[in-house]
Structure 1
Amino acid sequence: MTFSWTPHRFAGGALALDVANSVVLRADPERRIDRFADPAVMDGFAAGTNRHGAERDLFGALEPVGPHARAGLIDLREAIDRHFRAETLGIATPPLLADLLDAISATLRRSGTRPQALDTATARSALLLVARPEPERLKICPNCHWLFLDRSRNRSRAWCDMAVCGNRAKASRHYQRTREEPRS
Protein backbone atom coordinates (compact mmCIF):
# COMPACT_ATOMS: atom_id res chain seq x y z
CA MET A 1 0.00 0.00 0.00
CA THR A 2 1.33 3.44 -0.88
CA PHE A 3 1.18 6.31 1.54
CA SER A 4 1.87 10.02 1.18
CA TRP A 5 2.35 12.72 3.78
CA THR A 6 -0.49 15.14 2.98
CA PRO A 7 -1.20 18.48 4.72
CA HIS A 8 -3.80 16.80 6.98
CA ARG A 9 -1.06 14.62 8.47
CA PHE A 10 0.56 17.80 9.82
CA ALA A 11 -2.50 19.23 11.55
CA GLY A 12 -0.90 19.11 15.01
CA GLY A 13 0.56 22.59 14.74
CA ALA A 14 3.96 21.53 16.13
CA LEU A 15 6.53 19.06 14.83
CA ALA A 16 6.52 17.08 18.09
CA LEU A 17 2.74 16.62 17.90
CA ASP A 18 2.88 15.65 14.22
CA VAL A 19 5.44 12.98 15.10
CA ALA A 20 3.22 11.73 17.95
CA ASN A 21 0.29 11.64 15.52
CA SER A 22 2.19 9.30 13.19
CA VAL A 23 0.33 6.50 15.00
CA VAL A 24 -3.21 6.31 13.66
CA LEU A 25 -5.96 4.93 15.92
CA ARG A 26 -3.48 4.67 18.77
CA ALA A 27 -6.08 3.56 21.33
CA ASP A 28 -7.48 0.76 19.15
CA PRO A 29 -4.97 -2.14 19.12
CA GLU A 30 -6.84 -4.00 16.37
CA ARG A 31 -6.90 -1.07 13.94
CA ARG A 32 -3.77 0.80 15.06
CA ILE A 33 -1.41 1.87 12.24
CA ASP A 34 2.15 2.94 13.01
CA ARG A 35 3.25 5.00 10.00
CA PHE A 36 6.87 4.82 11.18
CA ALA A 37 6.90 1.00 11.11
CA ASP A 38 8.00 1.26 7.47
CA PRO A 39 11.45 2.91 7.28
CA ALA A 40 10.66 4.38 3.84
CA VAL A 41 7.52 6.07 5.20
CA MET A 42 9.49 7.34 8.22
CA ASP A 43 12.10 8.78 5.85
CA GLY A 44 9.35 10.47 3.84
CA PHE A 45 8.07 12.21 6.97
CA ALA A 46 10.99 14.66 6.93
CA ALA A 47 10.16 15.68 3.35
CA GLY A 48 6.47 15.98 4.26
CA THR A 49 7.38 18.20 7.20
CA ASN A 50 9.48 20.37 4.91
CA ARG A 51 6.39 20.92 2.72
CA HIS A 52 3.54 21.00 5.24
CA GLY A 53 4.82 21.26 8.83
CA ALA A 54 3.80 24.26 10.95
CA GLU A 55 7.33 24.71 12.33
CA ARG A 56 9.23 24.34 9.04
CA ASP A 57 10.42 27.96 9.20
CA LEU A 58 11.65 27.45 12.75
CA PHE A 59 13.75 24.34 12.05
CA GLY A 60 14.61 24.73 8.37
CA ALA A 61 14.80 21.84 5.92
CA LEU A 62 14.85 18.58 7.86
CA GLU A 63 16.69 15.41 6.96
CA PRO A 64 15.49 11.87 7.71
CA VAL A 65 16.97 10.11 10.72
CA GLY A 66 19.65 7.54 10.06
CA PRO A 67 18.98 3.84 10.61
CA HIS A 68 20.85 3.98 13.94
CA ALA A 69 18.50 6.70 15.27
CA ARG A 70 15.12 5.22 14.27
CA ALA A 71 14.49 3.45 17.59
CA GLY A 72 15.37 6.63 19.47
CA LEU A 73 12.86 8.62 17.43
CA ILE A 74 10.18 6.04 18.26
CA ASP A 75 11.04 6.28 21.97
CA LEU A 76 10.84 10.08 21.78
CA ARG A 77 7.53 9.90 19.91
CA GLU A 78 5.98 7.67 22.58
CA ALA A 79 7.23 9.88 25.43
CA ILE A 80 5.79 12.95 23.67
CA ASP A 81 2.42 11.28 23.26
CA ARG A 82 2.24 9.95 26.82
CA HIS A 83 3.16 13.25 28.44
CA PHE A 84 1.11 15.66 26.33
CA ARG A 85 -1.94 13.40 26.14
CA ALA A 86 -1.91 13.11 29.95
CA GLU A 87 -1.40 16.85 30.28
CA THR A 88 -4.38 17.54 28.03
CA LEU A 89 -6.52 15.16 30.08
CA GLY A 90 -5.37 16.80 33.31
CA ILE A 91 -3.58 13.70 34.59
CA ALA A 92 0.05 14.60 33.86
CA THR A 93 2.55 13.43 36.46
CA PRO A 94 6.14 14.40 37.18
CA PRO A 95 7.38 10.92 36.10
CA LEU A 96 5.80 11.40 32.64
CA LEU A 97 7.55 14.75 32.31
CA ALA A 98 10.80 13.17 33.49
CA ASP A 99 10.44 10.39 30.89
CA LEU A 100 9.88 12.99 28.18
CA LEU A 101 12.88 15.03 29.28
CA ASP A 102 15.01 11.84 29.37
CA ALA A 103 13.95 10.99 25.80
CA ILE A 104 14.69 14.54 24.66
CA SER A 105 18.08 14.47 26.36
CA ALA A 106 18.99 11.09 24.84
CA THR A 107 17.99 12.32 21.39
CA LEU A 108 20.03 15.50 21.67
CA ARG A 109 23.07 13.60 22.92
CA ARG A 110 22.77 11.10 20.08
CA SER A 111 22.30 13.78 17.43
CA GLY A 112 25.75 15.34 17.86
CA THR A 113 26.16 17.99 15.22
CA ARG A 114 23.08 17.12 13.12
CA PRO A 115 20.74 20.02 13.91
CA GLN A 116 18.65 19.43 10.77
CA ALA A 117 17.88 15.78 11.54
CA LEU A 118 14.22 14.98 12.18
CA ASP A 119 14.87 13.54 15.63
CA THR A 120 16.83 16.61 16.77
CA ALA A 121 14.16 19.03 15.55
CA THR A 122 11.43 16.89 17.15
CA ALA A 123 13.25 17.03 20.50
CA ARG A 124 13.56 20.81 20.23
CA SER A 125 9.88 21.11 19.30
CA ALA A 126 8.92 19.05 22.36
CA LEU A 127 11.00 21.35 24.57
CA LEU A 128 9.15 24.35 23.15
CA LEU A 129 5.83 22.66 23.96
CA VAL A 130 6.91 21.92 27.53
CA ALA A 131 7.80 25.59 28.01
CA ARG A 132 4.76 27.07 26.21
CA PRO A 133 2.97 29.82 28.12
CA GLU A 134 -0.59 28.62 27.38
CA PRO A 135 -0.96 24.90 28.09
CA GLU A 136 -4.73 25.05 27.57
CA ARG A 137 -4.12 25.44 23.83
CA LEU A 138 -3.10 21.78 23.61
CA LYS A 139 -6.15 19.65 22.74
CA ILE A 140 -7.17 16.18 21.60
CA CYS A 141 -9.31 15.90 18.46
CA PRO A 142 -12.64 14.27 19.42
CA ASN A 143 -12.77 12.45 16.07
CA CYS A 144 -9.29 10.99 15.43
CA HIS A 145 -7.81 11.55 18.92
CA TRP A 146 -4.71 13.28 17.55
CA LEU A 147 -2.99 15.93 19.62
CA PHE A 148 -3.05 19.49 18.24
CA LEU A 149 -2.42 23.08 19.21
CA ASP A 150 -5.41 25.40 19.14
CA ARG A 151 -4.00 28.61 17.71
CA SER A 152 -7.40 30.25 17.20
CA ARG A 153 -7.82 33.67 18.75
CA ASN A 154 -10.62 32.61 21.12
CA ARG A 155 -9.30 29.07 21.79
CA SER A 156 -12.43 27.50 20.31
CA ARG A 157 -10.93 25.16 17.74
CA ALA A 158 -12.44 21.73 18.25
CA TRP A 159 -10.88 19.60 15.49
CA CYS A 160 -7.32 18.87 14.43
CA ASP A 161 -8.40 19.61 10.85
CA MET A 162 -11.82 21.05 10.05
CA ALA A 163 -11.63 19.82 6.44
CA VAL A 164 -11.27 16.21 7.56
CA CYS A 165 -12.34 15.54 11.15
CA GLY A 166 -14.73 18.47 11.44
CA ASN A 167 -16.55 17.53 8.25
CA ARG A 168 -16.78 13.89 9.33
CA ALA A 169 -18.35 14.91 12.62
CA LYS A 170 -20.78 17.28 10.94
CA ALA A 171 -21.78 14.62 8.40
CA SER A 172 -22.30 12.08 11.18
CA ARG A 173 -24.51 14.49 13.17
CA HIS A 174 -26.51 15.30 10.04
CA TYR A 175 -26.97 11.61 9.28
CA GLN A 176 -28.17 10.94 12.85
CA ARG A 177 -30.57 13.89 12.73
CA THR A 178 -32.11 12.83 9.42
CA ARG A 179 -32.53 9.24 10.61
CA GLU A 180 -34.25 10.34 13.83
CA GLU A 181 -36.62 12.89 12.26
CA PRO A 182 -40.05 11.49 11.46
CA ARG A 183 -40.87 11.54 7.78
CA SER A 184 -43.68 13.91 6.91
Structure 2
Amino acid sequence: MTFSWTPHRFSGGALALDVANSVVLRADPERRIDRFADPAVMDAFSEGANRHGAERALFGGLEPACEAARAGLVELREAIDRHFRAEALGEGQPALLADLLEAIAGTLRRSGARRRALDTATARSALLLLSRPEPERLKICPNCQWLFLDRSRNRSRAWCDMAVCGNRVKASRHYHRNREDQQP
Protein backbone atom coordinates (compact mmCIF):
# COMPACT_ATOMS: atom_id res chain seq x y z
CA MET A 1 0.00 0.00 0.00
CA THR A 2 1.42 3.37 -0.99
CA PHE A 3 1.15 6.45 1.15
CA SER A 4 1.35 10.08 0.13
CA TRP A 5 1.62 13.28 2.13
CA THR A 6 -1.59 15.07 1.10
CA PRO A 7 -2.71 18.58 2.18
CA HIS A 8 -4.83 17.05 4.98
CA ARG A 9 -1.67 15.64 6.58
CA PHE A 10 -0.45 19.23 7.05
CA SER A 11 -3.52 20.68 8.75
CA GLY A 12 -1.74 21.33 12.06
CA GLY A 13 -0.81 24.87 11.08
CA ALA A 14 2.82 24.53 12.20
CA LEU A 15 5.58 22.19 11.09
CA ALA A 16 6.13 20.92 14.65
CA LEU A 17 2.45 19.95 14.96
CA ASP A 18 2.42 18.32 11.52
CA VAL A 19 5.42 16.23 12.57
CA ALA A 20 3.65 15.29 15.82
CA ASN A 21 0.60 14.32 13.79
CA SER A 22 2.64 11.81 11.78
CA VAL A 23 1.35 9.24 14.26
CA VAL A 24 -2.20 8.29 13.33
CA LEU A 25 -4.58 7.06 16.05
CA ARG A 26 -1.90 7.71 18.66
CA ALA A 27 -4.18 6.82 21.59
CA ASP A 28 -5.29 3.47 20.13
CA PRO A 29 -2.41 0.96 20.45
CA GLU A 30 -4.15 -1.62 18.27
CA ARG A 31 -4.73 0.71 15.31
CA ARG A 32 -1.86 3.18 15.80
CA ILE A 33 0.18 3.95 12.66
CA ASP A 34 3.58 5.63 12.89
CA ARG A 35 4.19 7.12 9.45
CA PHE A 36 7.84 7.73 10.34
CA ALA A 37 8.43 3.99 10.96
CA ASP A 38 9.17 3.70 7.23
CA PRO A 39 12.32 5.72 6.41
CA ALA A 40 11.11 6.36 2.85
CA VAL A 41 7.84 7.86 4.13
CA MET A 42 9.77 9.92 6.70
CA ASP A 43 12.02 11.25 3.95
CA ALA A 44 9.02 12.08 1.76
CA PHE A 45 7.53 14.19 4.57
CA SER A 46 9.91 17.06 3.74
CA GLU A 47 8.65 17.18 0.16
CA GLY A 48 5.03 17.16 1.37
CA ALA A 49 5.78 19.94 3.87
CA ASN A 50 7.39 21.98 1.08
CA ARG A 51 4.15 21.72 -0.91
CA HIS A 52 1.46 21.82 1.79
CA GLY A 53 2.91 22.97 5.12
CA ALA A 54 1.72 26.22 6.70
CA GLU A 55 5.28 27.27 7.52
CA ARG A 56 6.84 26.42 4.15
CA ALA A 57 7.74 30.06 3.44
CA LEU A 58 9.38 30.37 6.84
CA PHE A 59 11.69 27.37 6.51
CA GLY A 60 12.29 27.32 2.76
CA GLY A 61 12.90 24.09 0.92
CA LEU A 62 13.10 21.42 3.59
CA GLU A 63 15.40 18.45 3.19
CA PRO A 64 14.95 15.05 4.83
CA ALA A 65 16.70 14.43 8.13
CA CYS A 66 19.94 12.53 7.60
CA GLU A 67 19.91 8.86 8.58
CA ALA A 68 21.82 9.56 11.80
CA ALA A 69 19.23 12.18 12.84
CA ARG A 70 16.10 10.06 12.36
CA ALA A 71 15.97 8.69 15.90
CA GLY A 72 16.44 12.21 17.28
CA LEU A 73 13.60 13.47 15.08
CA VAL A 74 11.29 10.80 16.48
CA GLU A 75 12.37 11.71 20.02
CA LEU A 76 11.67 15.38 19.26
CA ARG A 77 8.29 14.47 17.74
CA GLU A 78 7.24 12.63 20.88
CA ALA A 79 8.36 15.49 23.15
CA ILE A 80 6.41 17.95 20.96
CA ASP A 81 3.29 15.82 21.17
CA ARG A 82 3.49 15.28 24.95
CA HIS A 83 4.07 18.95 25.75
CA PHE A 84 1.60 20.56 23.35
CA ARG A 85 -1.11 17.94 23.94
CA ALA A 86 -0.89 18.61 27.68
CA GLU A 87 -0.99 22.37 27.01
CA ALA A 88 -4.08 22.02 24.79
CA LEU A 89 -5.78 20.06 27.58
CA GLY A 90 -4.81 22.71 30.14
CA GLU A 91 -2.55 20.22 31.90
CA GLY A 92 0.86 21.66 31.09
CA GLN A 93 3.72 20.52 33.31
CA PRO A 94 7.18 22.02 33.79
CA ALA A 95 8.73 18.56 33.32
CA LEU A 96 7.15 18.20 29.86
CA LEU A 97 8.42 21.63 28.89
CA ALA A 98 11.91 20.69 30.12
CA ASP A 99 11.79 17.45 28.09
CA LEU A 100 10.77 19.40 24.99
CA LEU A 101 13.50 21.99 25.46
CA GLU A 102 16.09 19.22 25.94
CA ALA A 103 14.89 17.49 22.74
CA ILE A 104 15.06 20.80 20.84
CA ALA A 105 18.56 21.54 22.18
CA GLY A 106 19.78 18.04 21.30
CA THR A 107 18.39 18.34 17.79
CA LEU A 108 19.98 21.74 17.22
CA ARG A 109 23.34 20.50 18.56
CA ARG A 110 23.31 17.46 16.28
CA SER A 111 22.12 19.30 13.19
CA GLY A 112 25.17 21.54 12.83
CA ALA A 113 24.86 23.65 9.70
CA ARG A 114 21.89 21.73 8.26
CA ARG A 115 19.39 24.59 8.63
CA ARG A 116 17.04 23.18 6.01
CA ALA A 117 16.96 19.66 7.45
CA LEU A 118 13.56 18.50 8.69
CA ASP A 119 14.78 17.88 12.23
CA THR A 120 16.31 21.36 12.52
CA ALA A 121 13.23 23.08 11.08
CA THR A 122 10.96 21.06 13.36
CA ALA A 123 12.96 22.17 16.41
CA ARG A 124 12.75 25.80 15.27
CA SER A 125 9.00 25.45 14.66
CA ALA A 126 8.54 24.07 18.19
CA LEU A 127 10.43 27.07 19.58
CA LEU A 128 8.11 29.39 17.65
CA LEU A 129 5.09 27.57 19.07
CA LEU A 130 6.43 27.97 22.58
CA SER A 131 6.70 31.72 22.07
CA ARG A 132 3.15 32.23 20.76
CA PRO A 133 1.24 34.75 22.89
CA GLU A 134 -2.11 32.95 22.48
CA PRO A 135 -1.81 29.37 23.73
CA GLU A 136 -5.61 28.96 23.64
CA ARG A 137 -5.33 28.68 19.86
CA LEU A 138 -3.73 25.24 20.29
CA LYS A 139 -6.45 22.58 20.04
CA ILE A 140 -6.97 18.85 19.67
CA CYS A 141 -9.27 17.61 16.90
CA PRO A 142 -12.21 15.77 18.51
CA ASN A 143 -12.33 13.34 15.59
CA CYS A 144 -8.74 12.26 14.92
CA GLN A 145 -7.01 13.67 18.03
CA TRP A 146 -4.43 15.59 15.98
CA LEU A 147 -2.98 18.83 17.32
CA PHE A 148 -3.71 22.01 15.36
CA LEU A 149 -3.60 25.78 15.62
CA ASP A 150 -6.94 27.55 15.42
CA ARG A 151 -6.19 30.60 13.31
CA SER A 152 -9.83 31.55 12.83
CA ARG A 153 -10.71 35.09 13.80
CA ASN A 154 -13.11 34.11 16.58
CA ARG A 155 -11.23 30.96 17.68
CA SER A 156 -14.14 28.74 16.68
CA ARG A 157 -12.38 26.17 14.52
CA ALA A 158 -13.46 22.76 15.78
CA TRP A 159 -11.58 20.27 13.59
CA CYS A 160 -8.08 19.96 12.23
CA ASP A 161 -9.53 19.84 8.71
CA MET A 162 -13.16 20.61 7.92
CA ALA A 163 -12.97 18.73 4.61
CA VAL A 164 -11.97 15.49 6.33
CA CYS A 165 -12.70 15.37 10.05
CA GLY A 166 -15.50 17.95 10.01
CA ASN A 167 -17.31 16.15 7.21
CA ARG A 168 -16.90 12.77 8.93
CA VAL A 169 -18.42 14.05 12.15
CA LYS A 170 -21.25 15.82 10.37
CA ALA A 171 -21.98 12.79 8.16
CA SER A 172 -22.03 10.54 11.21
CA ARG A 173 -24.46 12.85 13.01
CA HIS A 174 -26.69 13.00 9.93
CA TYR A 175 -26.64 9.20 9.58
CA HIS A 176 -27.54 8.62 13.24
CA ARG A 177 -30.22 11.32 13.22
CA ASN A 178 -31.88 9.84 10.12
CA ARG A 179 -31.57 6.32 11.49
CA GLU A 180 -33.29 7.35 14.74
CA ASP A 181 -36.09 9.10 12.79
CA GLN A 182 -36.75 5.95 10.72
CA GLN A 183 -36.99 3.54 13.65
CA PRO A 184 -40.52 2.75 14.84
- TM class by shorter-chain length? over 0.9
The TM-score with structure 1 as length reference comes to: 0.99
Which letter maps to 2:41?
A: V
Shift of the alpha carbon at 1:78? Answer: 0.0
Query: Which whole-Å deviations, capped at 9, do the CAs of 1:2-38 have from their partners, x for residues lacking one?
Result: 0000000000000000000000000000000000000
How far does the alpha carbon of each residue in 1:25-61 deviate from its partner, in whole angstroms, 9 at most, with x for none? Answer: 0000000000000000000000000000000000000
Count of residue correspondences: 184
Over residues 116-144 of structure 1, what are the superposed CA-to-partner deviations in whole Å (9 max), with x where a residue is unaligned? 00000000000000110100000000000
Distance 1:182 1:84 in 2: 43
Distance 2:28 2:52 in 1: 27
What fraction of aligned residue pairs are identical, expressed as a percent?
A: 82
Structure 1 portions without partners, runs of 5+: none
Kindly state the Cα deviation for residue 181 of structure 1 after the two structures are TM-superposed.
Answer: 1.1
Q: Distance in 2 between matches of 1:111 and 1:129?
A: 20
* 2:89 is equivalent to residue 81 of structure 1: no
Is it true that 1:5 corresponds to 2:5 in the alignment? yes
* Aligned counterparts of 1:111 and 1:81: Cα–Cα separation in 2: 21
Query: d(CA) in 1 for partners of 2:133 and 2:172?
Result: 35
Distance 1:161 1:155 in 2: 14
Q: Provide the residue aligned with 1:51 in structure 2.
A: 51
C-alpha RMSD over aligned residues? 0.9
Q: Report the AA paired with residue 129 of structure 1.
A: L
Amino acid at match of 1:107: T
